[in-house]
Structure 1
Amino acid sequence: MTELQSALLLQRQLAGLNKNPVEGFSAVIIGPPDTFYEGDVFQAHLTFPKDYPLRPPKMKFVTEIWHPNVDKNGDACISILHEPGEGKYGYEKPEEHWLPIHTVETITISVISMLPDPNGDSPANVDAAKEWREDRNGEFERKVARCVRKSKRLFHVTSFKLLKLH
């Protein structure tokens, strides 16, 4: 199956979801190579509101993750998952927020991109953000490595794929 065919299939499936909504998607995201998260396996859950795609879904990591833009409950805090319009804290531009043209793919790509490059202007986990700024190769890296070891025990992954939806 080509990349275009895969994208078209996902579009048809999402159109079907709009007609017959389900509670959400589960996604498995593999940490990108050459980052602190390399080899980590994150299970996340996307929950879609009834008025999707006018409003953004919520993304919650089920697997433990230590990251400045993921709060301690596992909720991902990235611009494209924020409600459309002006940000309540003023650090994000409205065009960075949710738009109905975003897809499961663009959300997932944004999350994968966020892993090695956190947004320090809007930390959801202040402790992780502080360690990222002050002790990136020390305590921060140790906590991420602990999460990586835990996830590898849970998933026993040996090959790398960027995204797997089920």
Structure 2
Amino acid sequence: MCSPSAVRALGLEFKSLQEEPVEGFRVKLVNDENLFEWEVAIFGPPNTLYEGGYFKASMKFPPDYPYSPPTLKFLTKVWHPNVYENGDLCISILHPPVDDPQSGELPCERWNPTQNVRTILLSVISLLNEPNTFSPANVDASVMYRKWKESRGKDKEYENIIRYNPHPHCYHVM
């Protein structure tokens, strides 16, 4: 059962994002009758390897939102250190605020009810710009990204997978 406060919070957030769109992403409801599932369009940030990219994602909210975090899953294939092969995104802000010494994350980096869709999506855009290679979801992408960064862009393998290769794991930036 969805809480009335979750319905209210999601309604206000959705309305705010429609009235005051944020550069870098757009949101819409998958079904006008369901505030708990959104379709997200994320645009690759300027001056990054993902510039010019268009990434579709699904955002699903739990019945007790904003007390529990939503999930975000890319529907477009994305070659990125923090995106699992199935499209699930690994980002601290979407992890429940439990104390987990194994994760390497501080509880303050994790979800809390003051976060919202806007802060989540801005964090995703930031992650496209600067992946977290210390806790990768895609180890191969992480290794390639670090090699690319250490070579100051001279090692083109990571960049080529993102931009040009007809690789099953990548999204082509147009």
TM range (shorter): 0.7 to 0.9
TM-score (norm 2): 0.72
Q: 1:34 aligns with which of 38, 47, 52?
A: 47
Q: 1:124 aligns with which of 129, 137, 144?
A: 137
Seq. identity, %: 45
Q: 1:12 to 1:27 in 2, by over 3 A?
A: closer
8 Å CA contact 1:31, 1:37 repeated in 2: yes
> What is aligned with 2:99?
86
> What is aligned with 1:46?
59
Q: Does 1:143 find its partner at 2:158?
A: no
8 Å CA contact 2:80, 2:141 repeated in 1: yes
Shift of 1:13: 4.4
> What is aligned with 2:126?
113
Runs of 4+ deviating beyond 2 Å: 9-14, 20-23, 87-90, 146-149
> What is aligned with 1:67?
80
Which protein has greater RCO, CA pairs closer than 8 Å, 6+ apart?
A: 1
8 Å CA contact 1:37, 1:148 repeated in 2: no
Aligned residues: 139
Shift of 1:11: 3.3
8 Å CA contact 2:38, 2:59 repeated in 1: yes
Q: 1:52 to 1:133 in 2, by over 3 A?
A: same
Q: Amino acid of the residue matched to residue 73 of structure 1? A: N
TM-score (norm 1): 0.75
Residue ranges of structure 2 left out of the alignment (5+ in a row): 1-10, 17-32, 165-169
> What is aligned with 1:11?
13
Q: Amino acid of the residue matched to residue 41 of structure 1? A: Y
Which structure's residues are more often helix, by fraction?
Answer: 1
Shift of 1:101: 0.9
Residue ranges of structure 1 left out of the alignment (5+ in a row): 1-8, 15-19, 153-166
SS at match of 1:115: helix
8 Å CA contact 1:131, 1:139 repeated in 2: yes
Shift of 1:90: 3.5
Q: 1:63 to 1:54 in 2, by over 3 A?
A: same
- Cα RMSD, aligned residues only: 2.3
